[in-house]
Amino acid sequence: MRLSGSQPIPLKNARILLTNDDGILSPGLKVLESVAQGLGAEVWVVAPETEHSGAGHSLTLHQPLRWRQIAERRFAVEGTPTDCVLLAINKFMAEARPTLVLSGINRGANLGDDVTYSGTVAGAMEATLLGVPAIALSQVLRAQEPVKWRTAEVHAPEVIAALCSRGWPGDVLMSVNFPNVPAPAVAGTVLAPQGHHKVGDNLVERIDPRGRPYIWIGQLHADTQLVEGSDMERSDAGWVTVTPLTVNLTHRDTLEHLAGVFDAGSVA
C-alpha cells in the first residue's frame, strides 16, 4: 500500500545534503559522506563547527550565525543542526534545493525517547518542515568499546535505497539505527515503533575555584523497557531498525477523548 503523498525519491543524479550533531570533523559524517557518494549523488555537507549532541530542535536566535566554507559544497556553521539545515536549504543551496537530506551518522543510538533530545533527528525534522525528505542515521554503541562504524557503512546504502524506492509522506521523517554488532552479524532490517528509553537524571554538583557551585549532567543511566518488537528490543537483538517519525505531535485519541470538556470542544 502506498500512503497518500508518498512518492519514490530518485537517487540517480540526486543532490544530497548531509548534516549531523557531532560536528564537521566527526567520523560518522565521514562515513555518511562516503555512503552518499557511493549512491552517485552530488553531495553537500553543512554541519556544525562543534559538537551539538542533545541540542534537539533548537535554533540560534540571540546571536548571529557565522560559517566558513571549507571546500566546494562543504560548510561549517557556528550553530545547531537545525541552523545548518536552515542555512543550507535557504542560502547555500537556494538555487537548487536538495533531493534528500541525510543526518548523521550519529555516534550513539537514537532509540526510544532519545529522539526528543537528538540533534541528529532534529536535522532531519527541520528538512522535513522545509519540504525536503530526510533520514536520520545513528550507530548504536557500548561505552568503552570502539564504535562499529563499518556496520553503518555496509548497511546504510541498502537501507537508504530501499526507503527512497518507496518514499514516505511529506510530514514524516525516517530514523534508522544500526545495531552494536559487526556488519556480518546484522540480523536484517526491520520496521519498528519507538520503545521507552528515558535518559537518567543524574546531576553532579561541584564547586569551582572561586567558590561558586556548578552542575554537570552526569552519567546517562537509562530507564529502558525492552518491549517486544520495539526499536530498543530489535536493535538489542542485532537488527537495523527503521522508525517513521511524524512532525505533527498531536495525540488524536486524547484530542477526541477530551472533546466536550471545554466550550469549544469540537475535534477538527
Give the separation between CA 148 and CA 137, rounded to whole angstroms.
14
Do the annotations mark residue 21 as ligand-binding? yes
What's the residue count for the chain?
268
Do the annotations mark residue 263 as ligand-binding? no
Do the annotations mark residue 22 as ligand-binding? yes
Give the DSSP H or E segment for 244. Answer: strand 239-246
- Return the C-alpha torsion angle 230, 236, 242, 246, nearest 10: 50
Residues of 51-82 as b/e, b for ≥16 C-beta within 10 angstroms?
A: bbbebbbeebeeeebebeeeeebbbbbbbbbb
Give the separation between CA 117 and CA 209, rounded to whole angstroms.
31
Annotated binding site for a divalent metal cation: 21-22, 53, 106
Binding residues: 21-22, 53, 106
